[in-house]
Amino acid sequence: MNESLYKKRRETLLEKMQEGVAVLTNARLQTRSNDTEYPYRPNSDFYYLTGFKEDNSILVLIKTADETKCLLFVQKKVPEMELWTGKRLGVDAAKERFKVDEVFISEDFEKEMKVLMAEQHLLYYDLFSDDVLYKQLRALAKEMLHTRTVIVSPRSFSDITKLTQEMRLIKSREEIVQIKKALAITQKAHHHAMKVCKPELDEFVLQAEYEYIFKKEGAYSDAYTTIIAGGNNANTLHYINNDAKLKAGDLVLVDAGCEYGFYASDITRTYPVSGTFTQAQKELYEMVLDVQLKIIKAIKPKGSKKALQALSERLLTEGMVKLGILEGHVKTLMDEKSHKKYYPHGIGHWMGIDVHDPCPYSDDNGDEILFAEGMVLTIEPGIYLPEEDEALPEKYRGIGIRIEDDILVTKEGCENLSGSIVKSVAEIEAICKNK
């Protein structure tokens, strides 16, 4: 993505702001243990507005009745540190690269903010972050309040993430390209893993096969911790131990997606460890797949996630009654929420720079935000039947199935961005047997 796109996003944010000053910080290095850090990833909102990946950088936007300004704070270049941790962009190079008004070193942030916050009534920042810099801002605002030489200082505070996350709801053409690249790599990983999966393979070894393809094909990292859940492990929704052996005759539920250019993919496929579905597995699988296909077909502008949730619960309940998993009338079972025992989660979530994009689901009035062209969400119905549940038909016990795809809302309907990742019984068995 080019700098003009990030500049346009900052201009849009300034249009949404009231008069005031906004501060967005990039992520800091996080300690893993002692003196080692986790692999670094920038703050999503900060990256969305700048495309800048260096830690401890800060973006400041100022809006007055007369003008708007955009300032960037970056770490200064220190050759001794660069020897150990790599080159920094520095002030001069940042001035050349970014379409901002001024660039300062991060160490001067407090000094400059004393000037920038003067004469401003409103301060925007991430109200829910515990970042030390935001605490510093609050302390600085309090200090300025009691300084006789400052006539006006921030007395009102607003959450900047409310505005940025509203903006992130609608994906640009460039963002869709990034998501599609992530999905192309994720497709290769899923198809590769289906071929190498076999009985007695450790779950973590299958996980390694996914992550190998991610890295080999140029993905920055996985978008979330990969779930490799063989057999009954699939009935733990966020199973990430991945430390059991895959057993012949079981299914394996794999929730795995890579991140490309800091844009996520999020895909779940469930397939037979031995390469062939049993009759019971096939019955359950095709029921869940049928539900997913009907849900995807229903997605269009002005539709709602709430309606999709209701449809998924009704269809899955009907399927469970048909298979003898639940007994009774569908409406009564749903009123009693009996289906929730085996389908406890939502039908999907927003996706973008974050795998669970923190975009709003309702507006300021509490009304649900309706689908619009450019939104991206996951669709992931599932059924989870624990082996210890004696109320279940014995043939279905210990089976967990989820099928998840990434969907783009289009002008007249939707596009399944991950539709080329195999998911029919015939397709899966064919690729699993092609070892």
Q: What CATH number has the domain bearing residue 423?
A: 3.90.230.10
Active site residue 345: yes
Pair (278, 228) in one structural domain:
yes
The Cα–Cα gap between 381 and 293 comes to 10
Average confidence (pLDDT) over 169-190: 97
Active site residue 131: no
Active site residue 88: no
Active site residue 364: no
DSSP calls for 203-223: HHHHHHHHHHHHHHTT-SEES
Annotated catalytic residue, options 239, 342, 349, 354: 349
Annotated catalytic residue, options 35, 367, 394, 412: 35
Average confidence (pLDDT) over 125-130: 88
Average confidence (pLDDT) over 252-266: 97
Active site residue 266: yes
Pair (142, 231) in one structural domain:
no
Pair (351, 426) in one structural domain:
yes
Average pLDDT, the chain: 94
Pair (185, 334) in one structural domain:
yes
Active site residue 121: no
Pair (415, 358) in one structural domain:
yes
Pair (57, 180) in one structural domain:
no
- Kindly report, residue by residue over 35-87, the tens digit of the pLDDT: 899 999 999 999 999 999 999 999 999 999 999 999 999 999 888 888 888 89
Pair (123, 209) in one structural domain:
no
pLDDT higher than threshold 70 for residue 149: no
Task: Indicate the burial class of 123 (C-beta count within 10 angstroms; 0-12, 13-18, 19 or more).
Answer: buried
Active site residue 35: yes
Among 144, 167, 190, which residue terminates a domain? Answer: 167
pLDDT given at position 17: 96
Annotated catalytic residue, options 45, 175, 380, 429: 380
Average confidence (pLDDT) over 212-217: 96
pLDDT given at position 349: 98
More confident residue, 220 or 30: 30
pLDDT band at 435 (very low <50, low <70, confident <90, very high): low
Active site residue 238: yes
Pair (290, 378) in one structural domain:
yes
Active site residue 318: no
Pair (181, 306) in one structural domain:
yes
Pair (217, 277) in one structural domain:
yes
In 3D, which of 165, 199, 233, 139 has the Cα closest to residue 369?
A: 165
Among 115, 142, 167, which residue terminates a domain? Answer: 167
Put residue 200 in one of left, alpha, beta given phi > 0 → left and psi -120 to 50 → alpha: left
Total number of domains constituting the chain: 2
pLDDT higher than threshold 90 for residue 136: no
Pair (242, 389) in one structural domain:
yes
Q: Which residue range(s) make up the domain with 387?
A: 173-433
pLDDT higher than threshold 90 for residue 138: no
Among 149, 167, 185, which residue terminates a domain? Answer: 167
DSSP β-ladder status, 268-272 and 263-264: unpaired
pTM value > 0.85: yes
